[in-house]
Amino acid sequence: MAIDFDADILDTRDIIERLAELEAEDVELDEDEQEELEALVSLREQAEGQMEDWPHGETLIADHYFTEFAEQYASDMGAINGDAVWPINHIDWDEAAEDLKQDYSEYTLRGTTYWAR
């Protein structure tokens, strides 16, 4: 199954599986599949030596989704109470997301920036 390059979140295990499909010797690729293969190989090369959990499942978060991800992450870790209105409605989530990015590395896939730990 082709990778959804417009997804908010990608899992490296899905990318690895798709690379195996596209790199199989008995597969003839059409133009779209060849472009997909090239994009995924480029991502794999960017991640080599930098993304320890690549083979075990690393989450790639699209830049356009990172602010929403940061807010959900804060809620999941108990840093905020989702039922509270104050002070949550005064938090600058864009700024909080930018600060969180310090713990992430930047990767590019088909012109889209993704972030991964």
pLDDT at 12: 96
Please state, in angstroms and rounded to a whole number, the distance separating the CA atoms of residues 72 and 56.
23
The list of the chain residues with pLDDT below 50 reads none
Q: Quote the pLDDT of residue 27.
A: 81
- What pLDDT shows up at residue 113? 96
**Range list of H helices, the chain:** 12-23, 31-47, 66-76, 93-100
The C-alpha angle 53, 41, 14, rounded to 5 degrees, equals 50
Look at residue 14 in the predicted model and tell me its pLDDT: 97
Give yes or no for a cis peptide into 55 (omega within 30° of 0).
Answer: no
Residue-range domain boundaries for the chain = 9-116
Structure token pair of residue 53: 């959990």
In this prediction the pTM is 0.87
Look at residue 108 and give its three-state secondary structure: strand
Q: Compute the distance between CA of residue 20 and CA of residue 112 in angstroms, rounded to an integer.
A: 22
Neighbours of 35 (CB within 10 A): 12
Phi, psi at 79, each rounded to 5°: -70, -25
